[in-house]
Amino acid sequence: MLICWCCFFSAWSQKQQPLPHTAFNWESHKKGWWCVLEAKVPELALFGFSSIWLPPVTESLAPQGYLPRNLYCLDSAYGSERELRGLLKKLKEHGLRPIADIVVNHRVGSAKGAGDKYNRYDGMPMPWDEKAVTSDTGGHGNPSTGAIFEGVPNIDHAQEFVRKDIITWLRWLRKDVGFGGFRFDFAKGYKADFVKEYIAGSKPELSIGEYWDTCNYGGHDNALAYNQDSHRQRIVDWIDGTGGLSAAFDFTTKAILQEAVTKREWWRLRDAQGKPPGVIGYWPSRAVTFIDNHDTGSTQAHWPFPGEHIMQGYAYIITHPGQPSIFYDHLFEWGDQTRKSILDLVSIRRRKNLHSRSPVKILEANSSIYAAMIEEKVCMKLGEGDWCPQEPNWSLATSGQSYAVWEKV
């Protein structure tokens, strides 16, 4: 999706146009997923994606993969190890970088230990005992260094033997299995320092963290607050804690954007300093923007982007700085017109060489429209208000319900 580890900062240069694709939803495990995706690889490459984020690949108590047990077993509900390795091979042949979903905040035990809890890992690789489990989730380890994932043993990353085993496993995923990058699940569950160590030890070509925190709400109706600076700062602090080696999903931008499109409160899309109000306004080269994923959308629908407004959302994130990620459902399950509209925006981004650090000038942000110019190459607007670029050398590139994009000719 993003970069080569050995030249992390230069890889976010103006010449790079990384475009990740979230290649699964909450129900994908029911469909022989590795084979389904392998058939789509040529199409995904043709669309212009650079990286493909896959669901967790290891054996898990839950079929979606987020309750892992044996981290070295690659036979999962999504398919066999042979099918997985075939998919990874084909992705590489088409120039697509596979991203592994790394679930190491917690691990389901295989045997009961202290307290009659499943907090031991006997009979499998990485055969940890109760010392590998945090003391606040039923183990004999140290207290958790972050938020607790309830219901299962949380891993004590402060233990040196745990970190050593995780780094060995990550190197195996990179060198033997064939993954190019990592997405760290539930990243607020353990200190960013540990993620920094894991990245330095396994050297992925890219890393993304899921630091999903609660936004700021208030007022008599407990509405989303205009100022989300403290929310995005916590994400930035996490990125900084990794030494800048990892990007993070821009949950702040998602929150503000879906509130703006739902209530037509376009003024939300400009902060008090006149910049984009999400992580892309603070550290755009480390922000991965998105509309929905397997958690927020799909059948879980924990926090879905309003369906009638998704194209306004994509018009924003695909034209703006940061690294925009496209959700599988929107591309393959929402019909031909939605797919065409998304790919039209992708084509504009690539054609005009927009990138993670593209400067954006917000021209209007009020109750009727949002309008911005990106790199003086692209103009876009959201909302029903009447607006278009005033200079004659702008051409309408694409448009839809309550959005339009122009490019300089």
Among 185, 205, 265, 329, the active-site one is: 185
Which secondary-structure segment (H or E) carries 247?
strand 247-249
What are 262's two structure tokens? Answer: 């739902």
The answer to whether residues 84 and 74 touch, using CB atoms and an 8 Å cutoff, is: yes
185 flagged as catalytic? yes
C-alpha angle 43-46-51 in degrees, rounded to nearest 5: 85
SS3 content of the chain, % helix, strand, coil (to 5): 35, 20, 45
Bridge partners (DSSP) of residue 111 are 120
Q: What is the dihedral of CA 324, 87, 107, 120, to 10 degrees?
A: -160
Q: SS3 of 368, please?
A: coil
Q: Please, which contacts does 60-65 make with residues 24 or more away whose CB atoms are closer than 8 Å?
A: 60/108, 61/108, 63/29, 63/30, 64/26, 64/29, 64/294, 65/29, 65/101, 65/103
**From CA 76, how far away is CA 83, in angstroms rounded?**
10
Among 38, 156, 210, 407, the active-site one is: 210
**From CA 101, how far away is CA 177, in angstroms rounded?**
13
**From CA 40, how far away is CA 37, in angstroms rounded?**
5
* Active site members: 185, 210
